[in-house]
Amino acid sequence: TNEEIELILNRFKNNKVFKTAFLTACYTDMRTGEVFALTWNDIDFENNTITFNKTTVELTGGGIEFQTPKTPNAIRTILVSQKLIDMLKDWKKQQQKYAVELMEEDPELVCTRDSLSHIRPSSIQQYLIKVCKQLNIDVHFHQIRHTHATMLIQNGASAKDVQLRLGHSKIETT
């Protein structure tokens, strides 16, 4: 619910890393792997769009690999809110400050740690589960995608529009 989202956000108000991943998931329909594969080149700040064209897959032994999405329909560009665009701009500026401090190049990935290293999706998922348990909220990261779809429908979006936004090949899946 909106109330539960606010509770979670309040819990993470000082954790920009988690807040960025969580709000990006809330304001888009991204799958978990898509959130953590998102690069700054995928965001069009001028037109308020995000393009989904890759996903992360965790490898045995701790590595991460970038892959194309599982279906052609999962490659898509969606319109996003100005609120999300503004939050992402703020995070990008913060990352650039970290890069200067660490004497690193600006990161390509949106969701990074303060050290600019990649975040494993499973670590954020586990963190969210732990926090939600403390808040007495039963949710995991992928359910944020379901919440987004539900909110779209509650606000008058057609099932077809939601299907296209989610990247589903069949309306029955939506």
Sign of CA pseudo-dihedral 36, 37, 39, 41: negative
How far apart CA 97 and CA 6 sit, in angstroms, is: 28
- The tens digit of pLDDT for each residue in 6-28 reads 898 888 878 888 888 888 988 88
Residue 116: both structure tokens together: 């600019």
- The tens digit of pLDDT for each residue in 67-126 reads 998 788 889 898 999 999 999 999 999 999 999 999 888 889 999 888 888 888 888 888
Location of structure tokens 């990247």? 167
How far apart CA 72 and CA 167 sit, in angstroms, is: 8
How far apart CA 15 and CA 51 sit, in angstroms, is: 25
